[in-house]
Amino acid sequence: MEKRWLVCMILLPFFLACSHQERMDDENAVYYWRTEWRLDSLERDFIEQYQIHKVYCRYFDVVTDDGATELKPNATIVFVDTVPQDLEIIPTVYITEACLHQSLTGLATKIVERVVKMNETNDVHNVKEIQIDCDYTLRSRQGYYEFLAEIREEARKHAMGLSTTIRLHQLSMPVPPVDYGVLMIYNTGDPQKYMERNPILDLRDVEPYLRYLGSYQLKLAAAYPVFSWQRVFYNMNLVHEVSADEILKVKAAVENERDELRHSILLYHLDHDNINRYDKKTFEAFYRH
């Protein structure tokens, strides 16, 4: 009996450490981060060509009211076109970190009800989950996790799951109470600083966080940038784009640490200009499982 107990005690940490390795299914997805749902022919062709079945669509933001304590929705998307029936839409709601320092009482219910109403109004069917996006910190983490637990219960009432975004610096924290996370592998630098490194993505900025990937106890998908940034710094116009080589170097590095991240891949975000930024072979390499 004592030997059996000893074997169980030895194996238990092993199984706990491997529990996150229940990987995501192989799938290609994109974020949609505009205030109007309108797809042109190039964007529709892109969805079809790369077999994209999931679109993480930003529905609205939640912000504070000009420094006051009241929280309100902002920049709500308008559906100009109908959503193709073969696309699975994941309504995504961005919450500013400042909101987490206010009372969140009732917010979970309001968000879920608003998402459900928007789905009904705009004929968005077969919605299986909601995603919450927030750059929470060590100070706001506990309140955010309590909020996620509430919204998860509300979502379940409508047969929906819950996911959240995970930024690289959040990998060192305990995992949130969600079904899975999307690891945002972009915006790795500080855009307010003048630097030689690309603030959108640079492997050197990603490397310090790689050591957390293997032990992070949550299923993860991976999101990579295909957008550009323009900023003015000391009267200089700076335009940042990420080379395909840099994205693929980062992709290889994170997948080497955690094989699961090669299976569910998102690009941020679906847009005509972003599609034209890279060629077909490059997108095929981005989406390679």
DSSP-derived pairing of the beta strands 236-241 and 228-233: antiparallel
What is d(CA 261, CA 243) in angstroms, rounded to the nearest whole number? 20
Q: Which of 38-42, 191-195, 238-242 is the least confident region?
A: 191-195
Mean pLDDT of 226-255: 87
DSSP helix/strand/coil, 181:
strand
**How confident is the model at residue 66, as a pLDDT?**
74
**How confident is the model at residue 262, as a pLDDT?**
97
**How confident is the model at residue 194, as a pLDDT?**
66
CATH number of 25-286: 3.20.20.80
Most confident range, picked from 11-20, 146-155, 193-202: 146-155
* 170: CB partners within 8 A, 6+ apart: 136
Chain segment 218-239, per-residue pLDDT in tens: 999 999 999 998 766 666 777 7
Structure tokens at 102: 């206010």
In 10 A of CB 36, how many CB atoms?
9
Query: If you average pLDDT over every residue of the chain, what do you get?
Result: 91
Q: Which of 102-111, 195-204, 227-236, 254-263 is the least confident region?
A: 227-236
Q: How confident is the model at residue 36 (pLDDT cuts 50, 70, 90)?
A: very high
> At residue 288, does pLDDT exceed 90?
yes
Q: How confident is the model at residue 7 (pLDDT cuts 50, 70, 90)?
A: very low
**How confident is the model at residue 51, as a pLDDT?**
96
* Predicted TM-score of the model (pTM): 0.91
> At residue 18, does pLDDT exceed 50?
no
**How confident is the model at residue 188, as a pLDDT?**
95
- One-letter identity of residue 143: G
> At residue 11, does pLDDT exceed 50?
no
Largest separation between any pair of C-alpha atoms in the chain: 75
Radius of gyration of the chain (CA): 20
For the chain, first and last CA: distance in Å? 45
> At residue 67, does pLDDT exceed 80?
no
Q: H-helix or E-strand containing 239? A: strand 236-241
